[in-house]
Amino acid sequence: MAANLAGMWVLAGYFAHSATQAENPFTRTALGAGFWTLFAMAWMIALDAIERLQLTTLGRLLLQSVFLLPLLLSLNEGQHLSIAKEYANQSDVFGAAILRHLQIVFLAVVPALLIGLLLAWRMTKKQNLRQALFPVLNVIQTIPSIALFGLLMAPLAWIAIQLPALGRAGISGVGLAPAVIALFMYALLPIVRSALAGLEQVPAEAINAARGMGMSAGQLLWQIELPLAMPVLLIGLRTAVVQTTGLAAVSALVGAGGLGQMMFDGLFSAANELVILGVIPIVLLALLADTFFKVLSSLIKKRP
């Protein structure tokens, strides 16, 4: 399957080369929708086949990375294709866009993890907090992301005007602030839900014994509750990171930048290659995060 994928690229590159006889850098040879559909489907079939192979996590990881080779090849073999030319034109922006994308994800997920954990921990002790918070988190989850970005713009702009210090620190109606806040709110639900499920399956007798031996609430959390809740928590964290990586693309609409910016630039200028150049790294980042957490989970499970 990997050979098949690579072959498609080599062929496409060859034809592009023969088609673009003139040495004009503005000539483009674009791949058709059929190619991309075929490519995406072949890739999905391959990934699905790997999932079914029942390999160790590490083995699966290696095999999956083999399937990334065709993409790298495309940058070399397919240098006469328009996507490669688009990449060459955008290469300075490309790296910055990836970094910006990662920054958005990081700024949304890390606070969501810390606050989500704290909320879940409080919930194990206070039933009414749970009854109050879960409906709110569930409703947030149903708001379309574009609407939520939009909803946050006005109040944030107002805050920036009222408190100029915050405005100078980068809080404003457009840009990073509304994007990060909205993504934070989306990430909260899977994290709180999994953290709570994880904390609740910690054996009550272990908690009882730990308290009876003189552990403080903090020691109990760090030494007993969190390690025992970790396997379940990681599942939610994985969902949150993958989901945020995808949603962060939409945040370009409120001026947050990132890979979504390239995607929308491409959309608005009808340059399909640019769209793809933005989308592929997003998919890869999401897959990478997914795999990372799967590996982490399997490492934790190895310990009883």
Task: Please tell me the distance from the alpha carbon of residue 232 to that of residue 264, in angstroms, as a whole number.
Answer: 36
Whichever of 144 and 304 has its CB closer to another protein, that residue is 304
Residue 126's φ and ψ, nearest 5 degrees, are -125, 110
The token duo for 68 is 């990334």
**CB of residue 222 to another protein, shortest distance in Å:** 12
Contacts of residue 86, Cβ cutoff 8 Å, sequence gap at least 6: 271, 273, 274, 277
**CB of residue 181 to another protein, shortest distance in Å:** 35
Interacting residues with another protein (CB under 8 A): 203, 205-216, 219, 224, 227-228, 303-304
Q: Which residue has the tokens 């079939």?
A: 45
**CB of residue 225 to another protein, shortest distance in Å:** 11
Whichever of 115 and 230 has its CB closer to another protein, that residue is 230
**CB of residue 292 to another protein, shortest distance in Å:** 22
Q: Which residue has the tokens 């990836």?
A: 98
Whichever of 181 and 224 has its CB closer to another protein, that residue is 224
Tabulate helix, strand, coil % of the chain (nearest 5).
80, 0, 20
**CB of residue 88 to another protein, shortest distance in Å:** 52
**CB of residue 218 to another protein, shortest distance in Å:** 11
Q: Classify each residue of 62-99 as buried b or exposed e, where b means 16 or more C-beta atoms within 10 Å of its C-beta.
A: ebbeebeebbebbeebbebbbbbbbbeebeeebeebbe
Whichever of 28 and 211 has its CB closer to another protein, that residue is 211
**CB of residue 55 to another protein, shortest distance in Å:** 26
Name the burial class of residue 190, with classes exposed (0-12), middle (13-18) and buried (19+) by CB atoms within 10 angstroms of its CB: buried
Task: Please tell me the distance from the alpha carbon of residue 12 to that of residue 295, in angstroms, as a whole number.
Answer: 35
Whichever of 34 and 304 has its CB closer to another protein, that residue is 304
Whichever of 52 and 303 has its CB closer to another protein, that residue is 303
Task: Please tell me the distance from the alpha carbon of residue 85 to that of residue 23, in angstroms, as a whole number.
Answer: 13
Whichever of 228 and 280 has its CB closer to another protein, that residue is 228
- Cα distances from 168 to residues 100, 203, 252, in angstroms, run 19, 49, 21
